[in-house]
Amino acid sequence: MRSSKSRSRNKSNRNRSVGNIVNRVFDSSGPEGKVRGTPQQIIDKYNQLARDAQLGGDRVATENFQQHAEHYLRMLGSAQKEQEKQREQQDAENRKRQSERDRERAKQDSSDQQEAEQSVPGGGDQPDVIDASGNDSESGLVETPEEARSGSEEPASKPKRSYNRKPRAKKDSGNGDGKSGEDSATAAE
């Protein structure tokens, strides 16, 4: 069982959210009894009671109802101002986040475009063409071991393949005797 000391009923411990005052239902104890509703409904009710009291000639009751209406009017006004400030802060934060997203998207798009230009032949920044026939010391190129072996000669080209095949026998030239072309030439002699 909990002790009653742990549950404080002090008003300062209540979590008061300004945002829900506009739609919150209040019980107002006025001179005519309880008035229940949202702040706007209570304001309307007290203003109606003040008009009725004025028509009845009761100036004290009229003033009393107007003071009650003014109290709820001030509460409603401060809550609406607070809501407007929160809305403006959220709008500013949203604009800031959106501008950051836009910058990030633009940055991503530009990097994607640069990658696309570099992958396309002839697109983007291309290196300068170096004249290979010029002096290597002027061009800034480093001599490779292959170039060092070949010396000042022409660059080494691939050696031609040599095939160790037997030569093909020549086809029959169409004599009809079944002999090859050489045999038919020797026979004719």
| pLDDT tens per residue across span 107-116 | 888 888 888 7
Q: How far, in Å, CA of 66 to CA of 51, rounded?
A: 9
Whether residue 86 is contained in a domain is answered as yes
Domain of residue 62 covers 20-118
Asked if residue 10 lies in contact with residue 25, where contact means CB atoms within 8 angstroms, the answer is: no
Residue 35 within any structural domain of the chain = yes
Is position 183 within any domain? no
Asked if residue 48 belongs to a domain, the reply is: yes
Please say if the pLDDT value at position 71 is more than 50.
yes
Residue 50 included in any domain: yes
**Do the domain assignments include residue 182?**
no
Domain count of the chain?
1
The pair of structure tokens assigned to 71 is 């109290």
Domain membership of residue 97 (yes or no) is yes
pLDDT tens readout for residues 15-67: 455 557 788 888 888 777 888 899 999 999 999 999 999 999 999 999 999 99
Can you point out the beta strands (E) in 13-137? 26-30, 33-37
